[in-house]
Structure 1
Amino acid sequence: MNISLSKRAIGLGLGAMLTCQFAAAADGIGGAGSSAAAPVYRTWAQEYRKAGGEALEYDPVGSGAGLARIKQRQTDFGAVDVMVPRNELARDGLVMFPTAVSAIVPVVNLRKGGAPLKLSGEVLARIFLGEITAWNAPEIAALNPGLSLPNEPIRVVCRSDVSGTTHHFSDYLSKVSPAWKARFGVVGRPAWPAGFIAVKGSSEVSRAVRSTQGAIGYIDYGYVVEDALTPVQLAAANGRYVGASPASFRNAVVSSRWFTHGDFSDSLTQMPGEGAWPITMGTYAVVPKVAGEPERAARTLRFFLWAYDHGDALARQARFSPLPEKVQASAFRELSSVIGRNGEPIGLNALVR
């Protein structure tokens, strides 16, 4: 078969598949991992149930813990924000595919007047290096002429756990700050400076920022909207300032190999396109390549195929950017490789039914 099936063809197959199989599945679907992706899975779970699908129980334990659970076959799928190396996937008998495009957004709790706070990548890095410690520092004031900045200490909120969110944040900072790159590089948990407020998970970052005057943190865009957080504007790769939105995430995607080649292994940070949000990221699902329980595996794959088929509508509700069609085609190839213990083509059957 031609794996690069059109969206319309997939949709026709899914209609018949969902009609005959929803009623037959008695159990739900379990997933665990990325806390950044939790808003996406909450929206998908609600809409999938409305469409007659199984219930999804998603545990936002973080990308590292989610990957550990799927390696131990303790959940139906793991959700991670960082590509797992191919050799590691092969060693652990796993298949990985992208599910959505979102972004990391710096957020503040700051008494100020006027326009949104603007930060360059270099100034943002110096804040998270512990080098700029006051909100009325000259480096910040120079980027925000006319903005009334308080004479208050900066209270930095960071992640204490190994985090895909932190990985992408540090990937961006490594591209814009030689000092950050030399000290930390691209990591899921830096050795943060003393005095930072370190918390576990995106929901705790949101809570800490909201409850701490003078705070700055970094978090997935879904939480910015859900919790009414105050985002900053960032200088894009071309030097112009841009706000975080699904449109600016898509501008980043169309400038990348995700869009041109369907290659979802590349980073989406600091893309050169006009209006591209500089800390855009993909999020991924991981499932066993050989399913120990074929029906559970089939239920899980049906869920993701449904999400792909309804990508545009779901994007509007969950505030993320849908996957480009070339990336979906690459994802279909990965899904089609899932088999049962006796070699039955579980993934391929899900695609063509």
Structure 2
Amino acid sequence: MNTRPAHPLPNNALPPALSRRATLALLLATPWGLARAGETLTGAGSSAAAPLYRAWAAAYGKTQDVQLQYEASGSSAGLKKIRAQEVAFGASDVAPTEAELGRDQLLLVPTFVTGAVPVVNLPRVPRGRLRLTGEVLAQIFLGSITRWSAPEIAALNPELSLPDLAIRPVGRSDGSGTTWYVADYLARLSPTWKERLGAKTSLAWGEHVLGAKGSDGVVRAVQDTAGAIGYVDFNYVGANSLSPVQLRNAAGEFATAGVAGFKAALRASDWAAKGNFHASLANLPGPGVWPITMGTFVLLPRVSSQPAETTRALRFLMWALLKGDSVVEGLSFVRLPDALQASAFKALSSVVDKQGRKLGTEAFSAVAQAG
């Protein structure tokens, strides 16, 4: 049963004249989530999460004169900036360990679930029709399969006329949570990948891989390069009319990325069963599961030395968890299960300043009273 307060988002939370795809494309392209002057809220990190944080900010700005300045600089940069207290909140698609969080005195809060998707630029191949397995995808990015007409790919796609075209892999050149999820998935299926590259936010790509900074950089590189294959968060696929790859999941099905597949992975995970958001969402068993499902997180100081900025971040995030479900669903992300949302509120409510003032509790009261 959903025990959270019912606070529906106004129907005009996002511009009604724009389609969902047009709205998302605008949010992906716009560096600022809000246009009005007022108090500033700073955040940095995950580019996969950027569309939702900016959309939340646009809706939040209907009632609060707060301007979000969010830098989609990648998960590694987001962690670096919040550790240095250069922003009010950091955003990462990869959860630091409990030991790291304790060392840095940071609070980790999950926000939503999405998925990483391989995308291709293949002339004359219908959009979304190409099928791959994790093992073949690993060989492509390792450089051992170099042409789209290779027998390993042809065997998976007997109904397609594959071009005899060189494969141009595109990988993130910056520290990226999306990279970590793709690498973690491939390491589970390919012993060679696990030995050579492992699961990291930054990988030592060979010269055969074209490096691109940020999700926007991957999008441009794939669009501009015939024969390219890269990977992005699912919301970038539709917003940029990219061609997604079908992947064989643990059930043996060729799955298509989307909300249904992310929800299936969430249901099969310890996130739902045990409330353990450190657990992997990769290659889980079950029908319809998308095998590269990923969570994303925000990080704040447990004890704030900048209470005004931290309070703005707390109010924004609590508002988003209480009232932002419509935005999450409208942008094809998946909201957290109720139990996880409750644990997120508990964590946010624990933040204090150096004098012991309960910033989190005060922020929750302010958001709840605002209605």
TM-score, normalising length from structure 1? 0.91
Match 2:69 to one of 50, 53, 57: 57
For 1:52 and 1:246, the matched residues in 2 are separated by: 30
Matched, 1:337 2:354: no
Counterpart of 1:74 (choices 86, 100, 105) is 86
Task: State the shift of 1:5 in Å.
Answer: 9.4
Query: Quick check: 1:107 aligned with 2:119?
Result: yes
Amino acid at match of 2:154: A
Structure 2 residue matching 1:8: 3-state secondary structure: coil
Whether contact under 8 Å (2:93, 2:178) holds in the other structure is yes
**Residue of structure 2 in register with 1:8 after alignment:** 5
Report the equivalent of 2:211: 198
Q: Which residue of 1 aligns with 2:258?
A: 245
1:45–1:55 contact (8 Å) kept in structure 2: yes
Distance 2:249 2:211 in 1: 27
How far residue 186 of structure 1 moved from its aligned partner, in angstroms, is: 1.1
Q: Structure 1 segments of 4 or more deviating over 6 A?
A: none
Counterparts of 2:310 and 2:281 in 1: how far apart (Å)? Answer: 30
* Alignment match of 1:98 (pick from 101, 104, 110): 110
Q: Kindly indicate whether the alpha-carbon contact (under 8 Å) linking 1:233 and 1:242 is maintained by their aligned counterparts in 2.
A: yes
Letter aligned with residue 114 of structure 2: S
| AA at the equivalent of 1:184 | L
Once the 2 structures are TM-superposed, how far is the Cα of residue 132 of structure 1 from its aligned partner? 0.6
What CA deviation, in whole Å up to 9, does each residue of 1:287-314 have, x standing for no partner? 1111223232221111111111234311
Q: Which moved more, 1:291-300 or 1:140-149?
A: 291-300
SS of the residue corresponding to residue 151 of structure 1 reads: coil
The farther-off stretch of 220-229 and 278-287 is 220-229
Distance in 2, matches of 1:60 and 1:226, equals 17
SS of 1:305's equivalent in the other structure is: helix
Residue 175 (structure 1) aligned with residue 208 (structure 2): no
Match of 1:347 in 2: 360
What percentage of aligned pairs have identical amino acids? 48
1:328 aligns to what? 341
CA offsets per residue over residues 138-172 of structure 1, 9 Å max, x none?
Answer: 11111011101001000110111221111111000
Structure 2 equivalent of residue 219 of structure 1: 232
Aligned equivalent of 1:135: 148
2:167 pairs, out of 135, 146, 154, with 154
Shift of 1:105: 0.2
Q: TM-score under structure 2 normalisation? A: 0.87
Shift in Å at residue 8 of structure 1?
1.7
Native 8 Å contact 2:171 2:211 kept in 1:
yes
- How far did residue 27 of structure 1 move? 1.1
* Structure 1: gaps (5+ residues): 15-24
- Residues 258 and 326 in structure 1, CA contact (< 8 A), matched pair in contact too: no
Contact 1:261 1:326 in 2 (8 A): no
Q: 1-side partners of 2:121 and 2:40: how far apart? A: 39
**Do the aligned partners of 1:30 and 1:76 also contact (CA within 8 Å) in 2?**
yes
Classify the secondary structure of the residue corresponding to 1:287.
Answer: strand
Q: CA deviation at 1:349?
A: 2.6
Indicate the SS of the match to 2:78. helix
Q: Counterpart of 1:317?
A: 330
Counterpart among 289, 292, 301 of residue 302 in structure 2: 289
* Aligned alpha-carbon RMSD (Å): 2.1
* Shift in CA distance, 214/5, structure 1 to aligned 2, threshold 3 Å: closer
Q: Is the CA contact 2:113–2:296 (under 8 Å) kept in the aligned structure 1?
A: yes
Q: Secondary structure at the match of 1:28?
A: strand
Task: Provide the rounded CA distance (Å) in 2 between the counterparts of 1:298 and 1:273.
Answer: 41
Query: Following TM superposition, by how much is the alpha carbon of 1:273 offset from its aligned partner in structure 2, in angstroms?
Result: 2.2
- Compute the displacement of 1:352 (Å): 4.3
- Counterpart for residue 21 of structure 1: none
Q: Give the secondary structure class of the aligned counterpart of 2:188.
A: helix
Counterpart residue identity of residue 87, structure 1: A
Give the stretch that moved more between structures: 181-190 or 140-149: 181-190
CA distance in 2, matches of 1:263, 1:277: 19
Tell me, in whole angstroms, the C-alpha distance in 2 between the residues paired with 1:140 and 1:311.
41
Q: Give the number of aligned pairs.
A: 339
2:299 aligned counterpart, secondary structure: strand
Amino acid at match of 1:107: V
1:273 counterpart residue number: 286
State how far apart, in whole Å, the 1-side matches of 2:122 and 2:2 are.
Answer: 49
User: Quick check: 2:2–2:338 contact (8 Å CA) kept in 1?
Assistant: no
Matched, 1:116 2:129: yes
Which residue number in structure 1 is paired with residue 12 of structure 2?
A: none
Partners of 1:159 and 1:152 in 2: CA distance: 22
Q: C-alpha displacement at 1:54, in angstroms?
A: 1.6
Letter in 2 for 1:74: E
**Unmatched tracts of structure 2, length 5 or more:** 10-36, 367-371
